[in-house]
Amino acid sequence: MKLAVLTSGGDSAGMSAVVRAVVKAGILSGCETWIVREGYEGLVRGNTDTQIPPTIEEPFADPAARQRVRSGKATNLVENLRFGDGDLLRDGTGDHARGRTLKGRYIVRAGWDDVRGWFAEGGTLIGTARSKTFRTPAGRLAAAYNLIREGIDALVVCGGDGSLTGADLFRSEWPSFVTTLHSEGKITDEQLSKHGHLRIVGLVGSIDNDMSLTDLTIGAPTALHRICEAIDNINSTAASHSRAFVLEVMGRHCGWLALLAGVSAGADFIFIPERPPQTDSWEDEMCDAIQMHREVGKRKTLVIVAEGAHDSNLKPIRADYVRDVLTERLGLDSRVTTLGHIQRGGRPCAYDRILPTLQGIEAVKAVLEATPDTPSYMIGVSENKITRVPLMEAVAMTRAVADAIAAKDFAKAMSLRDPEFLQSLEGFMTTSLLYKEKMLSEEKRMRVAIMHIGAPAGGMNAATRAAVRYCIKQGHTPLAVHNGFKGLLDDAIHELSWLGVDGWTSRGGSELGTNRTLPSVDLGAVAARFQQHNFHALMLIGGFEAFNALLILENGRSLYPAFHIPMVHLPATISNNVPMTEFSLGSDTSLNALVDACDAIKQSASASRNRVFVVETQGGQCGYIATMGALARQLVYTPEQGMDLDMLRADDAKGKSEGRLVIRSFLPTKKRTAPPEDMFRVEGGGLFDSRFASLGHILQGGVPTPMDRARAARLSLRCMAFLEEYHQSLLAQPLKSRCAPPESAAVITIQRSALKWVPVTEMVKHADMKNRRGKEVWWESVKVWVEALSGRSELGQVYVVSGSNPSDYLSLRPKPP
C-alpha cells in the first residue's frame, strides 16, 4: 500500500508529530509513505516532475535493495530510511531554486530519517493551506489524478472539521473520479482496477478543541499552555498595581480554551459562546462578582473572553467593552491583552507529542483495515483511550453545536459538548465565585481535613484550592493539616480561607507541606487527633504513600471509631504509580519538565553528532515517566523491562550520526549494574561517546501544567461530592454506633474512558506493594511503540550487556527470542 499524509486548515502544535508518526508507523506496517505539501492545494497541484530526483540518498550497497527503492517497492526500514527531502522540509528551503529543490513537487516520498525529530517542532513542517480549488469538482478530480499517478491509495488527513468534511466528500466521489479519468484516457485499465477505492482516515488538528466525540484535539493542550503562561506572567503585574486584565483568547464557536484557562489560572469571570450570561444585564452580574472579590481583599482581577463570546441575544461581547465596564463601574485600572496567534506557536507540550503519536499509529491501523463498506473514521481520544468514530458523525455533531448557538438554544449546545466540558464549567463557577449564602443547612455541614502525603507533585495545590472553595460554598469547614501525619500529631492544623488559596493554582510543590510518614507511626494518637478536631471527612492528596495511608486507616476502623468517616485519596505523584488509575496529578507536569530538559540536551547531542546522552528520570520502580518521555523523545529503559545496549550502533551505522538520547528510569534494575553511559562508552568504541544527565528533583518542581491544574480541580470536586454523599448516609445512623462501609474509603481513578471509585480494600489486590506500583499498567504496550519508532527492532540484532563495571564486561550476546 502507498500511504500519504497531509495537514490542512489552520496549523496547530502537534501536526508535525502526526506526520512523523504516520510515516514511521506506515513504514513499520510495510507501506510506502508519502507526504503532501501545502494541504489540499498540494494535492491539486501534484508533481510537475515525475522523475525520482537524481540525488536521492541510498544508504545501502545491496543492488537489489537499490532497485526496489527506485521501482517503488522498498519493503523494510533500511530501504525506506531516507529519500533526501527531510532537511529541505525542516529548514524551509525546499522551494529554493538552487541545488536540490521541492519546486514543482507537492507529493513527496518520505523516509524514516526524513521525519527525524519532527515531534519537537511547532506547526506543520509540510505546510498547510485552505484550498479554494479543492472545493470544486474539477479541483478534486485533479487531486484524484495526482494520487493515482503516484500510485497512492490511502490518505491520512489532519485538520479541522472543514478539512475532514472535504476528505469524506473526496472519498465518496472517488469512484466517479476514477471512471471519468479512465474514460478520458488519463489512467490505464490497470490503474482503474487497482484504485477503485480510496482509504481515508482523519485526525483533528485544532487549537480550539471544537470537535465533538473526542476529548482533545491536536494542538489544544499546547494552546492552553501558551494562554496560562501568559496569564501567570500577567498576574504578577496585575497584583502589583491592583489592576484588572481582560484577556481575549481564540474560540469562535467553542469556549474550551477560555473555560480551561479560567479553571487553570483562577480567573474571576469568563465569557464563552456555549453558555452566555443568563441575564441581559450581564454587566451587573460580572461587576457584582468582581466587587465581592475585591471586598474580601483580592488585589487583581482577570476576565477571559473567547473571541466568539456573545450575550443571550447573540450580541458580541468584546474585550474592549468589558474593560470599559470595569473601569467605569468599579473604578478599576483595566487593561486588555489579546494573545492572537501566540496561542498557535511554539514547541508542542508533552501531551501534543504523545497524543498525536498514538493517534497517528491508530490512523495507520485504521487505514490498513479500511474497506469500501466501512465509514471514514476520525481518530479521537476519550480520557486515556484512543478511539475511532465515524468521521461525518463527529462533524455533524460539531456543526450542530454552532447551529444550536445560532438558534439561541444554549442548553442544547451544552448537551452536545462532552460531559467533561460541563463538569469544568460547573467547577469554574464553584471555584471562582464567592457565594453569599451557604448551600447546605447547618446539620449537613462537615469539618473536612485536607492532607498532602508523599513527595510533592504539580496540581496538589490546585486540588486543595478547589476543595477549599467548594467547602466554603457549601458551608463546610476546610482544615489544612500541615506536614502530613507528622503535622497532625504536632497539632499543625488550621482553617483555610477563600482568599488564602486564591493564587494556589499556579504554585508547584505543596503549600501544606508533605512527607512520607504513615499513620502507623502512632495510629492511636492519629485517632485521638481525629476525635479532638471532630473530623467528619478526610481528603488525602498524594501518591503511593497516600494509598497506603488510606489502607491503614480503613483497617484501623475496627479499633478506632474516629476513623468511621468518609475518606478519599486523590492520586498525585509524578511517578504515576498508584494502582488502577491511568493518570495521577503531577505526571503531566513532570513529563513536560522532562521533555523541556531533553530538548535542551538534544541540542548538545546533535551538535556533537556522535554523542549519546543517557538521561535519568525519577520514578522509582515505575517506568511511566521514562516511557512516555521516550515516546516524545527517543529510547527508554525502565525497571519493568531492564536495560539493553544496542540500537545506537546499528542505527548510526546505517543512518546519520546526529546524536541520540536514551532515557532511563532511576534504579532500572534490581541488581545495580554498570552505569549505561559507561556501557555505551566502552562498547561504542570510536563510533560514539556518552554523557550522563540526572534530572532528579527538577522533575518535581516548577509551575504545574494547565492539564494538571484543570484535572486537579475536576477530580477534587468529585472527591468532595463523594465525601458529602457518604457523610449524609452516616448521619442517618445513630451517633455512637456509626459504621462506615468499606466503600467509603476509596481512591478516585481514571480508567480508560471513565472516572471510577475503587475501595482501597479492593485496590490493594491490584497493587505490587513491594515495588510500589500496580501489577498491571496500561502503558506497557506503549514501550513496544517506543522501541519500534526508534527503529530498535528493525536495525539489526538487539543485544544485552552483562557485567558490574565497564572493565568487567562479558561479551555481547544476542538476546534470546
CA 353 – CA 631 distance, rounded (Å): 8
Active-site residue list: 208
Amino acid at 39: G
CA dihedral 319, 320, 321, 323 (to 10 degrees): 90
Residue 416 grid cell: 452536545
CB 540 within 8 A of CB 453: yes
CA 528 – CA 385 distance, rounded (Å): 44
> Which residues, other chains included, contact 136 with Cβ-Cβ below 8 Å and sequence gap of 6+?
none
CB 474 within 8 A of CB 440: yes
Q: Which of 52, 53, 79 minimizes the C-alpha distance to 66? A: 79
Element (H, E) at 32: strand 32-36
| Total residue count of the chain as it appears in this document | 817
CA 689 – CA 697 distance, rounded (Å): 26
CA distances from 265 to 231, 234, 269, 277, 697 (A): 7, 11, 11, 21, 24
Longest dimension (CA), the chain: 91
Residue 439 DSSP class: S
The strand pair at 611-617 and 244-249 is best described as: unpaired
CA 219 – CA 123 distance, rounded (Å): 9
Residue 135 DSSP class: G
Residue 64 grid cell: 537489489
Q: Which residue has the cell 489502607?
A: 551
Q: Which of 622, 572, 623, 632 minimizes the C-alpha distance to 597? A: 632
DSSP 554-618: HHGGGT-GGG-S-EEEEEB-TT--STT-S--BTHHHHHHHHHHHHHHHHHHHHHTSSEEEEEEE-
At 114 the three-state DSSP class reads helix
Q: Which residue has the cell 541510498?
A: 58
* Sheet containing 493-495: order of strands: 493-495, 477-481, 447-453, 537-542, 567-571, 745-751, 754-759
CA 501 – CA 511 distance, rounded (Å): 9
What are the beta bridge partners of residue 292?
none
CA 201 – CA 376 distance, rounded (Å): 6
Q: Give the phi and the psi of residue 246 in degrees, each rounded to 5.
A: -110, 120
* Sheet containing 611-617: order of strands: 635-637, 660-665, 611-617, 689-694
What are the beta bridge partners of residue 381?
386
* Sheet containing 301-306: order of strands: 269-271, 301-306, 244-249, 334-338
Q: Which of 510, 459, 450, 454 minimizes the C-alpha distance to 480? A: 450
Q: Is 297 exposed, middle or buried (0-12, 13-18, 19+ CB in 10 A)?
A: exposed
Residue 75 DSSP class: -
Residue 588 grid cell: 503531566
CB 456 within 8 A of CB 517: no
Helix then strand count (H, E) for the chain reads 26, 26
Residue 732 grid cell: 442517618
Residue 258 grid cell: 477560555
Element (H, E) at 229: helix 220-241
